[in-house]
């Protein structure tokens, strides 16, 4: 079975040729003959000649054995070890992606909130609308859900906010933000509580009950 010939572009061939010259110089610095290297590396003199020419057809194992004889086998560990270009790409992603993602998610979240609030102000939305798809229920069911609370809060009451039980800030993707805007995660809360206490604390129904009774 014929093996496929390795094709190297001329500009890349120059790199291999320089590597071959480096191997040849390393041998000469040690004052070693080609017969000595070929014998110790278990390669033929013709193969050694090709290695010192940087021939792409010689197996990497033969290159390694010659470097081993020269005491340079650890040079193999330097291959691709200092991946400067790869690190630059990675660093660029680390510096830009989180900021871009955070900003885009914030815009997406604000857009959804605005559409829901506008629907409440207008007094409805259709079942083929984006708001219906996000909330997951018809308008009448949504209003019933919000108004069905033990404190008698009503939609559009003064100083009453539409609140996310699990904060929307926990959404780390558009899909998660959409899930957090499902009607079951929405409730009505007094603005003063929602924008001060709950803003920095997780929702605690018992804590709110105590606060509400004390506030009243």
Helices (H), 123-197: 130-135, 139-147, 174-180, 191-192
Examine the pLDDT at 98 and tell me if it is beyond 60: no
What is the C-alpha to C-alpha distance for residues 198 and 177, in angstroms, rounded to an integer?
19
End-to-end CA distance of the chain: 90
Examine the pLDDT at 89 and tell me if it is beyond 50: yes
Whether 54 contacts 18, CB under 8 Å: yes
What is the C-alpha to C-alpha distance for residues 51 and 17, in angstroms, rounded to an integer?
9
Examine the pLDDT at 97 and tell me if it is beyond 90: no
Helix, strand and coil content of the chain, in percent to the nearest 5, comes to: 65, 5, 30
pLDDT value at residue 216: 58
H or E stretch covering 96: helix 84-122
What is the C-alpha to C-alpha distance for residues 160 and 188, in angstroms, rounded to an integer?
6
pLDDT tens for each residue of 38-87: 999 999 999 999 999 999 999 999 999 999 999 999 998 888 887 888 88
Which residue, among 61, 54, 43, has the nearest Cα to 16 in the 3D structure?
Answer: 54
Tell which wins on pLDDT, 146 or 2: 146
What is the C-alpha to C-alpha distance for residues 158 and 171, in angstroms, rounded to an integer?
28
**Residues contacting residue 68 through CB under 8 Å, at least 6 positions apart:** 41
Examine the pLDDT at 1 and tell me if it is beyond 50: no
Q: Cα angle at 64 between 63 and 69, to 5 degrees?
A: 100
Percent of the chain's residues with pLDDT above 90: 65
pLDDT tens for each residue of 3-51: 566 778 888 899 999 999 999 999 999 999 999 999 999 999 999 999 9
Which residue, among 128, 123, 131, has the nearest Cα to 181 in the 3D structure?
Answer: 131
**Structural domains of the chain, ranges and CATH numbers in brackets:** 10-76 (1.10.260.40), 107-215 (no CATH)
């Amino acid at each position: 079975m014929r093996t496929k010939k390795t094709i190297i572009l001329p500009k890349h061939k120059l790199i291999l040729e320089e590597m071959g010259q480096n191997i040849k110089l390393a041998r000469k610095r040690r004052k070693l003959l080609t017969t000595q290297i070929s014998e110790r590396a278990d390669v033929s003199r013709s193969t050694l000649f090709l290695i010192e020419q940087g021939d792409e057809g010689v197996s990497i194992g033969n290159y390694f054995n010659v470097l081993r004889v020269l005491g340079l086998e650890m040079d193999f560990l330097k291959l691709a070890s200092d991946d400067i270009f790869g690190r630059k790409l990675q660093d660029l992603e680390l510096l830009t992606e989180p900021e871009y993602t955070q900003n885009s998610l914030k815009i997406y979240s604000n857009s959804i909130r605005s559409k829901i609030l506008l629907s409440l102000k207008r007094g409805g939305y259709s079942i083929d609308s984006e708001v219906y798809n996000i909330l997951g229920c018809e308008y009448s069911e949504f209003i019933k859900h919000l108004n069905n609370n033990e404190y008698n809060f009503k939609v559009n009451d003064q100083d009453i906010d539409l609140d996310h039980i699990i904060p929307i800030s926990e959404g780390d993707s558009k899909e998660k933000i959409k899930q957090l805007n499902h009607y079951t995660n929405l409730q009505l809360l007094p603005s003063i509580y929602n924008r001060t206490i709950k803003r920095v604390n997780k929702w605690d129904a018992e804590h709110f009950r105590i606060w509400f009774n004390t506030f009243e």
